[in-house]
Amino acid sequence: MYDKTDINELILLCRKRDDDAFDELVRRYTPMIRKVISGFSGCPYDSDELFAEGCVALHIAAQRFILEQDGVTFGLYARICVRNRIVDMLRRSESEETLSDVDVEQVTDDTSVEERLVDRDTFDRLLLSARGLLSDYEYRVLLLHIQGYKTSQIATMLGKSAKSVDNAKARVFRRLRKELGDISEF
C-alpha cells in the first residue's frame, strides 16, 4: 500500500497515528535497526528485545524529526536515535544491577534521587527554552554536543565543517547565557 510513498509522507502519516504507515517505515528501516543492534552482541538482551527497542526509537524519531532541516536525513537521525536508545537501555540495566547490589542499610538519604529528578526537570526546561532561542542548526549541534559527540563527529553527521560547528557552539552558549543566565551547571 505504501511501497512508493516517500519517507517524509510516511513520517507525516505516522504522526497521524497511521499504523500501516509505521509498519512500512519499520519494514524499510529493519536492515538499519538490525545493523545497529548487531554491534551490541554479548549484552544481556536478546536480539528480539533489542529490535523492539529499535522500533520504539524509530517511532520516536518519526515523531521528532524536523522535516524541513537541511543536512540531516531521516535515516541518519533514526540511526542515531536507535543507537542512543539501545545504549540508554544498557546503561539502565547496568545501574539496576548496581542498585540491586547495594546494602539497603547503608542507604540513609534519598536526596540524591530527588536532586537527580530536579536536575532532569531543569535540564528538560533548558532544552525547551533552547528550542525557542536557537536556529534548527544550532539546536541540532546542542543536542549532539549534549549526547557527548565531539566537534569532528558532529561536523560529519551534519555535513558541516568543524569550524562551523565550533562557531555554532559558541553562539549557542552565548545565547543561552544571555537569555537563561548561568548555564555552567548543565
- Per-residue pLDDT band for 5 (boundaries 50, 70, 90) equals confident
pLDDT in tens, 152-162: 888 888 888 98
Give pLDDT tens digits for 94-147.
Answer: 655 443 444 444 444 444 555 555 566 666 677 777 777 888 888 888 888 888
**What whole-number distance in Å separates Cα of residue 22 and Cα of residue 39?**
24
Give tens-digit pLDDT for 25-80: 999 999 999 999 998 878 888 888 899 989 999 999 999 999 988 888 999 999 99
Q: Is 159 helix (H, G, I), strand (E, B) or coil?
A: coil
Q: Which pLDDT score, from 0 to 100, does residue 45 have?
A: 83
Residue 91: what pLDDT?
81
Q: How many angstroms separate the Cα of 31 from the Cα of each of 37, 61, 72, 93, 178? A: 10, 16, 19, 25, 44
Confidence at 173, pLDDT banded by 50, 70, 90 = confident
The whole-number pLDDT of residue 98 equals: 43
Q: Look at residue 61 in the predicted model and tell me its pLDDT.
A: 93
The cell for 176 is 543561552
Taking CB atoms within 8 Å and a gap of at least 24, the contacts of 161-170 are 165/141, 168/137, 168/138, 168/141, 169/141, 169/142, 169/145
- Show the 3-state SS of 73-134: CHHHHHHHHHHHHHHHHHHHHHHHHHHHCCCHHHCCCCHHHHHHHHHHHHHHHHHHHHHHHC
Checking phi first, is residue 159 left (phi over 0); if not, alpha (psi -120 to 50) or beta?
A: left
Tell me, yes or no, if the pTM score tops 0.75: no
What is the per-residue pLDDT for 78?
Answer: 94
How far apart, in whole angstroms, are the C-alpha atoms of residue 128 and residue 138? 14
